[in-house]
Amino acid sequence: MKPGHGEVLLAEGDPRVRSDEELLIEEFRRQLDGGMWAAVPTERPGSGRREAQMVRDYGEIPPEAQRVIFFPRASGG
Amino acid sequence: MLALLTVALMAMALAAFVLGPRLIGRLAARHKGAAAAQPAFDPGRERRAEQRARELLRSCVNDVEWAMYRDLGFIRVDGRPLPDAPSAEGAPAPYAYLIYPHKPIVAYVPETGRLLSEYCVNFPDVSGGGRTRLPASDDVLAKWMALTSDEARVIGRANMHLVGRQHDPGHVRRDIWRLSEWERLGAGRVGARAA
């Protein structure tokens, strides 16, 4: 059985600061290269409905996003 | 003053990436010759991981979905409107999914309660050689994110069966009934609190 970990903070920073952004991009690529999927939780304005947005490239991250969550790719069970 | 925008990159059950090699290396050194050193099961660590996973799930889904999971143990996600269906705001979804932790996703028709199929999908921890699995609430969150962001992709990867392969159809029907009762009695209250 897997030892429990839950969420782990991989990197954080201000994307408007060049050095921070480089760090975020590097970690983003590392996770995707490692076989993870990346998603950003979002909320539809007005409806209260929440959903996720898959991002395949750092540039696809919405500017207002506060976090990106990486999780293992789905496979048939 | 310019407010600082912080972007955090987070990972679910990813500690094996960050901590794993060091931890496994330590165990391997302690048990020389062991082919596959596995960290010992620690109920406290598992419980803490699940607690963190619940907090993360709660921060991503809305109040109604969170209350549903807390009270019933699963989350319903509505399916997309059918392409040829007339779009009507507030109309019931033509189909919906029930997301259970570490069990297949169930598709059904909310209007009639008819069970459609179960989709067996998992999210193997790539750092653990696929032998390990996410905490229960992380598994629910992964399914929720996958379904709400790219339903076709996750359903396309899943193994589809008639309901009954892993789920007890009677149990699922009872869950649908519990959900309808829960919504009738309490969803308005939850929604009002969420507003």
pLDDT digits (tens, 9 = 90+) for B12-39: 543 333 322 222 222 223 333 344 455 6
DSSP string, B114-153: -EEEEEEEE---GGGTT-----HHHHHHHHHHHHHHHHHH
Mutate to test the interface with B, among A16, A44, A69 (most CBs of B within 10 A): A69
> Which residue in B4, B41, B62 is closest to A48 by CB distance?
B62
Distance to chain A for B61, nearest Cα, Å? 6
> Which residue in A7, A43, A77 is closest to B11 by CB distance?
A7
Which residues does residue B122 pair with via DSSP β-bridges, in sequence order? A75
CB contact under 8 A, B148 and A2: no
Q: pLDDT tens for residues B171-195? A: 999 999 999 999 998 765 665 454 4
Averaged pLDDT score across all residues of chain B? 78
B90 has a pLDDT exceeding 90 = no
A–B CB contacts, 8 A cutoff, strictly below: 208
Provide ipTM, 2 decimals: 0.90
Residue B79 · residue B97 · CB < 8 Å: yes
Structure confidence at residue B190 (pLDDT): 61
| Alpha carbon distances (Å) from A59 to A55, A70, B12, B57, B112 | 8, 16, 22, 25, 43
Predicted structure pTM score: 0.81
User: Which residues in chain A are closer than 8 Å to B16, comparing Cβ atoms?
Assistant: 5
| Alpha carbon distances (Å) from B152 to A27, B119, B146, B158 | 27, 12, 9, 10
B44 has a pLDDT exceeding 80 = yes
Per cent of chain B over pLDDT 70 is 67
Q: Which residue has the tokens 């979804």?
A: B93
Q: pLDDT tens for residues A28-55? A: 999 999 999 999 999 887 777 899 999 9
